Amino acid sequence: MTHPLHSPGRRRALFLLGAAPLLASGCGFQLRGPRPLPFESIYLGMYQYSDLAAAIRRQIRAGSTTVIAEKPEDAQVRLEVLADAKEKAILALNTQGRVREYQLRQRFTFRLVDNSGQEIMAPNEIFLRRDLAFDDSQLLAKEQEEILLYRDMQSDLVQQLMRRLAAAKMPAAKPQP
């Protein structure tokens, strides 16, 4: 009698499991990785010491050769933040009228303009939300969970922003007379 781990069906399954990454790479599949930005330099029009600005700078430096300019006039493009708002809305109440569930929301609106002020990317909005079950007997744990959810939302926002910036279409250079 053969051991169940050494059965022909089990070996076939293990072989297919091991071959799956090779098959996926052969068809052109790639994991999402850093995508180069279509401009040489960018100015981030936001409070430079915010956590969000730091995360965007980190992502740009890690995933592209784009330079982050200190002054708007030194950059090929400017990221203009039109809105960046976080809010917390009540989703559900219990029978005593106490909050049972919140929804955390973040709305980030931006546009991209070149150094002459021409709009390269029209106003874009990234809207994120996460639900948070609430129990006032676990107040400290729920506060920590809220902080972690906002941090996760920020990470998601940065990834979405980077994908949108990478997809920006730069205007063709005008020929010099």
Q: Which helix (H) or strand (E) is 174 found in, with range? A: none
- CATH code of the domain covering residue 136: 3.30.160.150
**Rounded Cα gap, residues 171 and 130, in angstroms:** 37
Identify whether 26 is part of a domain: no
Number of domains, the chain: 1
Structural domain span for residue 112: 34-166
| Sheet of 41-45, strand order | 67-68, 41-45, 77-93, 99-114, 119-133
In total, the chain counts a number of residues equal to: 177
- Secondary structure tally for the chain: helices H, strands E: 3, 5
Does the structure show a pLDDT above 80 at 164? Answer: yes
Identify whether 143 is part of a domain: yes
Predicted structure pTM score: 0.75
More confident residue, 140 or 157: 157
Identify whether 4 is part of a domain: no
Mean residue pLDDT of the chain comes to: 86
Identify whether 28 is part of a domain: no
Identify whether 14 is part of a domain: no
